Amino acid sequence: MPKSWKFLATLTVILVIVASLVVVGIEEKQSSVATDLATKDAVSHSLSEVNLAIASSPEVANALVAIAGIDEDATPEEQLRALVAWRAVFDGWSNVYRQHLNGTIASGLYNDLLQEISAYAGKHYGSDAPDAIERRERQMMWAWESERSNYDRDFQSFVDNFLSAKP
């Protein structure tokens, strides 16, 4: 085989390898985007389910209203319903937080989590009236005190930092 053919064959192999790596890189990027979108959709769906349960269940809505001011007259059933609703919220937050630590979630979704927890912890003063912010913060603190032990230490510290931070 003449030297020019060897060179041409080697060059062709190198070009095929480079092209294969480019294709693999493009496929990896597309897979990463698809995974991020699926994760965001799953988290959004789970939080929507919580909101739908509250909106469609007078019992859960009444329980959350009764607990909103940490009403001493709230029945054990109302307290349980409120805690279950909060547990669903905490589970969604914990999932996003864990995926952030694992590096498997888009930064935008993690930033959404930070903003949402800040709002519930009374650290974000958007357009809500101050009394609504205080009620939401008291309710979250009440629920977190009850449910905190259900989560790993990293997530406990994460939420605790929000609750102890002053705006």
pLDDT 10s digits, 84-141: 788 888 888 888 888 888 887 878 888 888 888 888 777 655 555 566 677 778 888 8
CB contact at 8 A, 144 and 90: yes
Domain extents in the chain: 34-164
Predicted local confidence at residue 157, as pLDDT: 93
Report how far residue 135's alpha carbon sits from residue 6's, in angstroms, rounded to the nearest whole number.
78
CB contact at 8 A, 81 and 60: yes
What are the residue ranges of helices labelled H in the chain? 3-56, 58-68, 76-102, 107-120, 130-147, 153-164
Mind listing the pLDDT tens digit for each residue in 53-78? 666 777 766 666 666 555 566 777 77
Instruction: Say which amino acid occupies 82.
Output: A
Using 50, 70 and 90 to split pLDDT, how confident is the model at 18?
confident
Stronger pLDDT, 167 or 66, i.e. the higher one: 66
Predicted local confidence at residue 4, as pLDDT: 78
Predicted local confidence at residue 34, as pLDDT: 67
Residue 73 phi/psi, 5-degree rounding, is: -85, 0
Predicted local confidence at residue 156, as pLDDT: 93
